Amino acid sequence: MLLKKITLLALNYTFDATRFIKHSSVFTINSQQKIEGKITYNYHSIEKGHINEQIRYKFGVIKINKLIHLLKIWLNRNYDITNSQFIAACSVLVKYYHFHSENKVDISEIIAESDYYLFKPYYNENVGGIINYDINKYFQHSSEKFDLFSDSRHSVRHFNGEMVSLEKMREVVKIAKNAPSVCNRQSVKIKLVNDHVLTQKVLKIQGGMIATANTVNQLILVTSNINSFVSEVERNQMFIDGGIFLQNLLYALHHHKIAACALNWSKPFFYDKRIKKLLKLNPAERVIAVVAIGYPPNEFKVPFSKRKELSEILEIFG
Ligand SMILES: Cc1cc2nc3c(=O)[nH]c(=O)nc-3n(C[C@H](O)[C@H](O)[C@H](O)COP(=O)(O)O)c2cc1C
């Protein structure tokens, strides 16, 4: 019986690994969606570079080079030029070019004029880049009808230093814990790191928030305990239940006018060891995500983060 269970688990993990090797863009870029993922990864990083107060000229050269390379592959392979992420990428690239030329900074060694004219036909002024907010405008829909509410949440990466009270955080988690989970098994825990120094140590390990990390005083670790899962077929359930909880948490924070940015924990295993040691986590806990939280400054910027069109997402059968 034990041997059967171990064999089934090993087979399933092997199947997972084989599928990932074949269908992710880690090893091959032989489909439009693989290229699309890589394009979005790179242009989003350029968008994020524009939210900083002091924008460094010529930032993100490596990402820009990769983006140009991928966009050229896109065009050479005659992929869909109406694709939302292709258009967003071209728009970000063109805006980057305009930003430098308006400031009279020569970037011909980063984006050649010929490349600028190659991508300009796909530029949409209303897509890509950043959105400017003031705090009142940002939270104006935080208690509104769900469509307005949901549309008004963004990842905020700047904070004003004021601490969110423990009382407020209890209210937030009370809402977040309404999240559904498999058989109501509720594997998720919320770890509030409520100390600036410890927060900085976690962010240093996480590594995804370099430019504005020093403005973060508090963060949340969303974890899922593997003890709750009963069969080898549930080997990925922690990420589903944890992900649902994470989204509900982001909404609960927004409802309470607390700014937040989810930060990924797709890390090699030794990062798990580091965070476990730092926060003395139970070895059965998997980190799902880190969430930087706090109150935003009076004025701030967020990346545009263009969503796919409905027609690119919704498939109807029957
Ligand atoms: C699981 C997860 C991990 C994320 N990791 C990072 C990260 O490491 N650094 C970062 O700046 N943003 C991170 N984000 C924020 C995304 O960039 C952001 O959600 C996306 O661009 C959509 O924008 P929006 O949240 O403003 O709607 C993450 C978001 C999620 C859901």
Token duo for residue 222 = 């969303």
Nearest to 139 by CA among 306, 291, 295, 303: 295
User: Of all protein residues, whose CA lies closest to atom 17 belonging to ligand 1?
Assistant: 155
Q: Which of 41, 45, 245, 263 to mutate to test the pocket of ligand 1 (most atoms within 8 A of CB)?
A: 263
User: Of all protein residues, whose CA lies closest to atom 12 belonging to ligand 1?
Assistant: 263
Question: Which atom in ligand 1 lies closest to the alpha carbon of residue 307?
Answer: 22
Nearest to 86 by CA among 47, 123, 49, 125: 123
User: Of all protein residues, whose CA lies closest to atom 22 belonging to ligand 1?
Assistant: 305
d(CA 123, CA 174): 44
Residue 48: what pLDDT?
A: 95
Expressed in angstroms and rounded, the spacing between residue 261 Cα and the centre of ligand 1 is: 6
Q: pLDDT 10s per residue in the chain (318 long)?
A: 899 999 999 999 999 999 999 999 999 999 999 999 999 999 999 999 999 888 899 999 999 999 999 999 999 999 999 999 999 999 999 999 999 999 999 999 999 999 999 999 999 999 999 999 999 999 999 999 999 999 999 999 999 999 999 999 999 999 999 999 999 999 999 999 999 999 999 999 999 888 899 999 999 999 999 999 999 999 999 999 999 999 999 999 999 999 999 999 999 999 999 999 999 999 999 999 999 999 999 999 999 999 999 999 999 999
Residue 80: what pLDDT?
A: 98
Token duo for residue 188 = 């998720």
Token duo for residue 43 = 């242009």
Which amino acid, 117?
Y
Around ligand 1, the residues with Cβ closer than 6 Å are 44, 48, 154-155, 157, 208-209, 261-264, 289, 302-303, 305
**In the chain, where the domains are located:** 31-129, 132-302
What CATH fold (topology level) applies to the domain 132-302? NADH Oxidase (3.40.109)
Location of structure tokens 């589903």: 240
Q: Which of 155, 188, 220, 290 to mutate to test the pocket of ligand 1 (most atoms within 8 A of CB)?
A: 155
d(CA 74, CA 41): 15
User: Of all protein residues, whose CA lies closest to atom 27 belonging to ligand 1?
Assistant: 154
User: Of all protein residues, whose CA lies closest to atom 19 belonging to ligand 1?
Assistant: 155
Residue 140: what pLDDT?
A: 98
Expressed in angstroms and rounded, the spacing between residue 317 Cα and the centre of ligand 1 is: 31
User: Of all protein residues, whose CA lies closest to atom 21 belonging to ligand 1?
Assistant: 305
Residue 287: what pLDDT?
A: 98
Q: Please state, in angstroms and as integers, the Cα–Cα distance from residue 90 to each residue in 62, 103, 202, 209, 227, following that order.
A: 16, 20, 35, 24, 46
Expressed in angstroms and rounded, the spacing between residue 36 Cα and the centre of ligand 1 is: 17
Residue 53: what pLDDT?
A: 83
- Provide the β-strand partners of residue 259: 294
Expressed in angstroms and rounded, the spacing between residue 38 Cα and the centre of ligand 1 is: 15
Expressed in angstroms and rounded, the spacing between residue 171 Cα and the centre of ligand 1 is: 23
Residue 55: what pLDDT?
A: 86
Residue 244: what pLDDT?
A: 98
Residue 70: what pLDDT?
A: 98
Residue 3: what pLDDT?
A: 95
Q: What is the pTM of this model?
A: 0.96
Expressed in angstroms and rounded, the spacing between residue 67 Cα and the centre of ligand 1 is: 19
Residue 210: what pLDDT?
A: 81
Expressed in angstroms and rounded, the spacing between residue 244 Cα and the centre of ligand 1 is: 15
User: Of all protein residues, whose CA lies closest to atom 18 belonging to ligand 1?
Assistant: 155
Angle at 176 between CA 172 and CA 182, to 5 degrees: 165
Expressed in angstroms and rounded, the spacing between residue 44 Cα and the centre of ligand 1 is: 10
Expressed in angstroms and rounded, the spacing between residue 305 Cα and the centre of ligand 1 is: 9
